[in-house]
Amino acid sequence: MRRLIEVLFVAVVGLWGSIAWAADAAKPENKLNITAIIMFFIFVAVTLGITYWAASRTKTTKDFYAAGGGITGFQNGLAIAGDYMSAASFLGISAMVFAKGYDGLIYSIGFLVGWPVILFLMAEQLRNLGRYTFADIVSFRLSQVPIRTLSALGTLCTVILYLIAQMVGAGQLIRTLFGLPYEYAVVIVGALMILYVAFGGMIATTWVQIIKAVLLLTGATFIALGALNHVNFDLEAFFRSALEGVKASGLADHKKVVAENKDIFAPGGLVSDPISAISLGMALMFGTAGLPHILMRFFTVANAREARKSVFYATGFIGYFYILTFIIGFGAVVLVAPNPQYVDMVKGTLMGGNNMAAIHMAHATGGDLFLGFISAVAFATILAVVSGLTLAGASAVSHDIYANAMRGGRVDERVEMRISKLSALVIGVIAIVLGIQFEKQNVAFMVGLAFAIAASANFPILILSIYWKNLTTRGALIGGSMGLISTVTMVVLSKTVWVDVLGYKDPLFPYKDPAIFSMTLAFVGCWLFSKLDSSSQAQAERALFAAQNVRCETGVGASGASKH
């Protein structure tokens, strides 16, 4: 405990020092945003306090991985919503609405509709069958070593890709918002997330996420109200002024819209052909159901009842949030686009980059102080999301690979926790190093790839293991691997990597989203190789399904909340 206090103390002093130092080092064009830094500091101080409190309550692996199972449905709903409302979706979707209009809404709907399906088909099953990771469920009646290894691989691929994208986004965003050099931003984010996860485990990670979700929902509500207040809450006038905003806009994107006479209130060029539209829809919908850091949240509540409630609240918060981003995006067309304070009228670009629409809206509706608040919230958002990802990755290493695949489940809890903390440190360092390496790279494809892998490798084996009696280890292994390999191959050969990153002239695979093909391959692989599997092990695995289903339906034998 004493050592922990020392570490936290050094962390705070170090952070303060590095920011003060960075202030001197910052180039003059990146003006340091003092209000934002102070508000962010308050957030960091509070969350480190929570980490300290959480550390004293984290005694067992159950506390570490699953917050002792003591999170309520409402709290977990906020935490799930928080995981989902990343800086990328807050800034990215409002920016998409801002630049392209209706297309932004299509995206956010795709992100949302996965939730009801997760609730109906997976939430209580996850809670009743699993303990700490989704691999618990897949390996419930299948062979531990190969299945855990495959699931951990799927988890780590998803987590690392998602982390790099978040880290690069964090560095760029914080450089713009706070005036800090890129490397400092990445190191600060990395160091804080390692602290939260290694010392506070799931309890700290959950509460950081809850606090951030409340701050972000509050902040976004105020921006949206500011936008509507501008037109006295008359929706007709609001959208009419958005049309005028596009005409008066200095933005090159908007000039193009006017020149081509496009309708910003109808679908534009986001989804060009039916295959892409359906494939994107599948990746968004089923990818959500295979994201390890989201699935992990279902183990933090006491029982199936609370698990269901979590999704109900989460869907409400996320849906509300997307409606807000829609209003904020169009609000920015009205208040930001025609204003030379925010737009470089000569170059036709938004100051600070395309993703800054919501940030400028904060300034346009609430002035410097509110801008500082929203900037700090954006920083906090990144921190909270990367912490969840890091914990998911660390759990895969310590719980799936070490404790179960390597040691057959016979491990000392303290050793397992130490491995997990060490993994969090290693994953954090990898994220920092890669985050700095990828600074100048185009990382936009990484989130898409993470979703596609989640949809094509993690989701098929998970859902089949819950619902399909005949799934065998061999089938899951071959099908899951086919999903993983085909996704990566198709994304590398598609325009996003082959042309945009590697610089070749023409893509070898015509679609941006591989999900419709890779998911099909994974399901067909699982089905075919399970059907062909007539080994005695396969028979035994099928025989275990009935017992699994009893537990799945009734929760008999499921782990409850630990008593503190």
Q: Does residue number 228 form part of the binding site for another protein (CB under 8 A)? A: no
Residues 92-131 that bind another protein (CB under 8 A): 102, 105-106, 108-110, 112-113, 115-117, 119-121, 124, 131
Of the candidate residues 70, 169, 226, 281, the single one contacting another protein (CB under 8 A): 281
Q: Does residue number 136 form part of the binding site for another protein (CB under 8 A)? A: yes
Q: Does residue number 328 form part of the binding site for another protein (CB under 8 A)? A: no
Q: Which two tokens stand for residue 168?
A: 């690069």
Q: Does residue number 416 form part of the binding site for another protein (CB under 8 A)? A: no
> What one-character DSSP code corresponds to residue 505?
S
Of the candidate residues 259, 266, 346, 502, the single one contacting another protein (CB under 8 A): 266
CB burial of 16-33 (b: ≥16 within 10 Å; e: otherwise) equals: eebbeebeeebeeebeeb
Of the candidate residues 323, 433, 436, 528, the single one contacting another protein (CB under 8 A): 323
Of the candidate residues 229, 442, 535, 554, the single one contacting another protein (CB under 8 A): 554
Q: How far is the CB of 512 from another protein (least distance, A)?
A: 14
Q: Does residue number 78 form part of the binding site for another protein (CB under 8 A)? A: no
Q: Is 230:331 a contact under the CB 8 Å cutoff?
A: yes
Q: Is 45:12 a contact under the CB 8 Å cutoff?
A: yes
CB half-sphere exposure, 109, CA atoms < 13 A: 9
Q: How far is the CB of 305 from another protein (least distance, A)?
A: 5
Select 340 or 560, whichever has its Cβ closest to another protein. Answer: 560
Q: Is 83:216 a contact under the CB 8 Å cutoff?
A: no
Q: Does residue number 15 form part of the binding site for another protein (CB under 8 A)? A: no
Of the candidate residues 340, 367, 510, 557, the single one contacting another protein (CB under 8 A): 557
Q: What are phi and psi of 344, to 5 degrees?
A: -80, 100
DSSP 376-439: HHHHHHHHHHHHHHHHHHHHIIIIIIIIIIITTT---HHHHHHHHHHHHHHHHHHHHHHHHHTT
**Choices 22-30, 276-284, 373-381, 416-424 (CB under 8 A): range interacting with another protein:** 276-284
Residues 140-179 that bind another protein (CB under 8 A): 140-141
Q: Which residue type sits at 67?
A: A
Select 10 or 550, whichever has its Cβ closest to another protein. Answer: 550
Annotate each residue in 287-316 with x if it binds another protein (CB under 8 A) or - if it does not, as one string.
-----------------xx--xx-xx--xx
Q: Does residue number 556 form part of the binding site for another protein (CB under 8 A)? A: yes
DSSP H helices in 249-343:
252-259, 274-288, 292-295, 304-335
Annotate each residue in 373-412 with x if it binds another protein (CB under 8 A) or - if it does not, as one string.
------------------------------------x---
- Distance between CA atoms of 499 and 519, rounded to whole angstroms? 24
Q: Is 132:299 a contact under the CB 8 Å cutoff?
A: yes
Of the candidate residues 225, 243, 485, 524, the single one contacting another protein (CB under 8 A): 243
Residues 524-553 that bind another protein (CB under 8 A): 546-547, 549-551, 553
- Distance between CA atoms of 545 and 137, rounded to whole angstroms? 12
Using a 10 angstrom Cβ sphere, with 0-12 exposed, 13-18 middle and 19 or more buried, the burial of residue 499 is middle
Select 252 or 323, whichever has its Cβ closest to another protein. Answer: 323
Our CA dihedral for 503, 277, 89, 263, rounded to 10 degrees, sits at 100
Q: How far is the CB of 130 from another protein (least distance, A)?
A: 8
Select 184 or 545, whichever has its Cβ closest to another protein. Answer: 545
CA distances from 347 to 30, 261, 350 (A): 19, 21, 9
Q: Does residue number 240 form part of the binding site for another protein (CB under 8 A)? A: yes
Of the candidate residues 27, 28, 259, 274, the single one contacting another protein (CB under 8 A): 274
Select 326 or 511, whichever has its Cβ closest to another protein. Answer: 326
Taking the CB of residue 5, how many other CB atoms lie within 10 A of it? Answer: 11
With CB under 8 A as the rule, give the number of residues binding another protein: 60
CB burial of 539-550 (b: ≥16 within 10 Å; e: otherwise) equals: eebbeebeebee
- Distance between CA atoms of 334 and 82, rounded to whole angstroms? 28
Select 169 or 460, whichever has its Cβ closest to another protein. Answer: 460
Select 140 or 373, whichever has its Cβ closest to another protein. Answer: 140
Q: How far is the CB of 531 from another protein (least distance, A)?
A: 23
Distance of CA 494 to the CA centre of its chain: 23
Select 340 or 557, whichever has its Cβ closest to another protein. Answer: 557
The site for another protein (CB under 8 A) is made up of: 102, 105-106, 108-110, 112-113, 115-117, 119-121, 124, 131, 136, 140-141, 235-236, 239-240, 243, 263, 265-268, 271, 273-274, 277-278, 281, 285, 304-305, 308-309, 311-312, 315-316, 319, 322-323, 326, 409, 546-547, 549-551, 553-557, 559
